[in-house]
């Protein structure tokens, strides 16, 4: 059972554009929603995370939008740069993140110069 | 080291063999997680330790998989009678446990079962 569904599978954006990645979850017990960035040959690294008591969180060029009623959340990357080219994973967890993470299937982002 | 260290970085084995994968967490991190990442997929949870004990092993796919963390630091993931379907990147993550929810990942061990 895929508890976190992520789309699109791949995304090509021009430098300076906005990258948008969407995720939907099923388990209403989830209370922590991080986004991870992974470069080839490396482990995932935390980018930004949100809890369901807020609808938006912004850190630099990265913003998470969260819709609790729709059970959906998204990552927006503003002013996308070639260095942002990587695979992005949404995830969800119970216990405020102090439990196992359930990951989406990933989005491969390519930012063209 | 400063980050989570996993050894070996690559492991090639034959079907039916036994393998051990090692994880050195960040110093002071009490929580340790194992995940498995198949090609083109997101990491899939295997087991989670809080200290020396397995707090959640619900992700282990079958009894061929076993993990230990005897002293609450280094952990070893053990796979018996390996199958070709076990081929994947095995990721380890650690966190400060109750004090933090940020999981820091190692680069993983790429296991290839021939």
State yes or no: pLDDT of B20 exceeds 80. Answer: yes
Peptide bond into A29 cis (omega under 30): no
Characterize the bridge pairing of strands B31-37 and A56-59.
Answer: unpaired
Condensed to tens digits (0 to 9), the pLDDT of residues B55-79 reads 899 999 999 999 999 999 999 999 9
Question: Which residue of B89, B91, B103, B104 is the best one to mutate when testing the A interface, meaning the one whose CB has the most A CBs within 10 A?
Answer: B103
Number of structural domains chain A divides into = 1
- CATH number of domain containing A40: 2.60.40.10
Minimal C-alpha gap between A65 and chain B (Å):
20
CB contact under 8 A, A100 and B56: yes
State yes or no: pLDDT of A12 exceeds 80. Answer: yes
Q: Number of A to B CB contacts under 8 A, please give it.
A: 61
What is the pLDDT of chain A when averaged over all its residues? 94
Where does B5-109 sit in CATH, by number?
2.60.40.10
- Is A94 in a helix, a strand, or coil? coil
What is the pLDDT of chain B when averaged over all its residues? 94
Which chain B residues touch A46 with a CB distance below 8 Å? 102-104
pLDDT on residue B98: 72
Q: Which of B40, B45, B107 is opposite residue A42, by nearest beta carbon?
A: B107
What is the C-alpha to C-alpha distance for residues B78 and B80, in angstroms, rounded to an integer? 7
Q: Is A88 on the interface with B (CB under 8 A)?
A: no
Question: Which whole-number Å values give the CA distances from A67 to A4, A55, A106, B58, in the listed order?
Answer: 14, 6, 20, 29
- The values of phi and psi at residue A52, to 5°, are -75, -5
Condensed to tens digits (0 to 9), the pLDDT of residues A56-96 reads 999 999 999 999 999 999 999 999 999 999 999 999 998 76
Q: Pull the structure tokens for residue B65.
A: 């998989």
Q: Pull the structure tokens for residue B79.
A: 């796979």
């Amino acid at each position: 059972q895929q508890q976190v569904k992520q789309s699109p599978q791949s995304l090509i954006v021009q430098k300076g554009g906005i990258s948008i990645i969407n995720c939907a979850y099923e388990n209403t017990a989830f209370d922590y929603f991080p986004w991870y960035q992974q470069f080839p040959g490396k482990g995932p690294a935390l980018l930004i995370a949100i809890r369901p008591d807020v609808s938006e969180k912004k850190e630099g060029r990265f913003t998470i939008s969260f819709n609790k009623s729709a059970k959906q959340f998204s990552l927006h990357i503003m002013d996308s740069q070639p260095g942002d080219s990587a695979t992005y994973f949404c995830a969800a967890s119970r216990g405020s993140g102090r439990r196992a993470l359930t990951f989406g299937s990933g989005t491969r982002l390519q930012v063209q110069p | 080291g400063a980050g989570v260290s996993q050894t070996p970085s690559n492991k090639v084995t034959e079907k039916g063999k036994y393998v051990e994968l090692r994880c050195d967490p960040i110093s002071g991190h009490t929580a340790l997680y194992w995940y498995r990442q198949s090609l083109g997929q997101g990491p899939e949870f295997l087991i989670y330790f809080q200290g020396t004990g397995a707090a959640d092993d619900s992700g282990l796919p079958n009894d061929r998989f076993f993990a230990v963390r005897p002293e609450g630091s280094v952990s070893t993931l053990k796979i018996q009678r390996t199958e070709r379907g076990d081929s994947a990147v095995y990721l380890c993550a650690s966190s400060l446990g109750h004090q933090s929810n940020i999981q820091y990942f190692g680069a993983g061990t790429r296991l290839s079962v021939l």
